[in-house]
Amino acid sequence: MEKEEILTSTYELTLLVSPDLSEFDAQKVADKVKTMVIGRNGQIIKEHTWGKKRLAYPIKTADFGYYFTIIFTLAKESINELSHDISLVPEVIRHLSLSLEKEGVTIDQLFTPEKEVALIAAMMKEKAEPKAKAATRATRRSAKILHPVEPAPANEPVIAEPEAPLGIETTPVETVINEADAADRLKALDEKLDQIFKEE
């Protein structure tokens, strides 16, 4: 009598575990599911813990959930039974199992938490670089516009401008007043006051 060959397939199982549990208890639920896989003569290849994340929409009144991904091999006829058993675990809000062969994906092509961190870091760096370059160009441009460097004529007093943050336009403030200008202003003011008193 010939031994029948068992056809196995590689699967990716994603679990969404209730946020009401602690991280430790959520890990216990994932371990329970791994035990179910092994109990059906499956073999665990990899496991990824994604942690607690916000859901795109509420599921069973939960806004968050613990994500776990388990990659395993299992006989093709056992996957439906495993899926049914997982649906009976009350702490599992949702689960999804995909056949990697049917999807045409290898284990190395799967998205992992490490790849997620690298992708986020690359995106943040990409966003920061153009802003830094634009800020540098704008700073140089505004420095030239707001603070032109011109030599003061020898006969005129030097006007000091207070330091202002770049990018904010300020009006220059005279801190040194020419004494001759001050005397002329006082003389003009005295004449106007004399005229006002004479008219009365």
Query: How far apart are the C-alpha atoms of 107 and 11, rounded to whole Å?
Result: 9
3-state secondary structure of 37: helix
Residues forming CATH 3.30.70.60 domain(s) in the chain: 8-106
**How would residue 194 be classed by pLDDT, with cut points 50, 70 and 90?**
confident
Mean pLDDT, range 23-48, rounded to an integer: 92
Q: What is the DSSP letter of 65?
A: E
Rg of the Cα atoms in the chain: 38
Least confident of 6-15, 30-39, 84-93, 120-129: 120-129
Strand order across the 8-17 sheet? 43-59, 62-75, 8-17, 92-99
Q: Give domain 8-106's CATH superfamily.
A: Ribosomal protein S6/Translation elongation factor EF1B (3.30.70.60)
Query: How far apart are the C-alpha atoms of 29 and 94, rounded to whole Å?
Result: 13
C-alpha count within 13 angstroms, C-beta hemisphere, residue 49: 12
**How would residue 175 be classed by pLDDT, with cut points 50, 70 and 90?**
very low
**Backbone conformation region of residue 167, classed left if phi is above 0, alpha if psi is from -120 to 50, else beta:** left
Q: What is the DSSP letter of 91?
A: T
**How would residue 8 be classed by pLDDT, with cut points 50, 70 and 90?**
confident
What's the whole-number average pLDDT of the chain?
77
**pLDDT recorded at residue 83:** 92
CB 86 within 8 A of CB 33: yes
Read off the pLDDT of residues 50-89 as tens digits, 9 standing for 90 and up. Answer: 889 998 888 888 889 999 999 999 998 889 999 999 999 9
**pLDDT recorded at residue 90:** 92
